[in-house]
Amino acid sequence: MTIPKEKLEQLKQTLLEERKRIQENIKVLGKNMDLGDSPGMDNEEADESEEADNELGAIEVLKERIANMDVALGKMESGTYGACEDCGENIELELLEVNPESAVCRECKE
């Protein structure tokens, strides 16, 4: 399957916009981390530590999405975008429209 040039450009723009949004979310999450630098309540520090762990987990998930987006953008540049990494068949256009960084087709996802 050859993705029409205008559709490919639209998917690329979607990826770039989502990538930028995720990068901004990572910055916000990183700024919100406060590990209780003032002395005081142990419970408060434990809560802050747990919250920081959750935020670090969220940041890692977001960074992984960015990495997947970078792979998809690279495939767009090389002309291999839309091919399933597992079976080599075409990834359905409907799936790419919902999840443009998808690396596998619907059958291989299942």
Give the pLDDT confidence of 49-101 residue by residue, as tens digits: 666 677 888 899 999 999 999 999 999 999 999 999 999 999 999 999 999 99
Note the Cα 74 to chain centre separation in Å. Answer: 15
Q: Which pLDDT score is estimated for 47? A: 59
For residues 105 and 1, is the Cβ–Cβ distance under 8 A?
no
Task: Read off the tokens for 51.
Answer: 């919250």
pTM: 0.78
Q: Give, in order, the Cα–Cα distances in Å from 7 to each of 3, 77, 97, 100, 104.
A: 7, 14, 9, 11, 19
Distance CA 26, CA 41 (A): 28
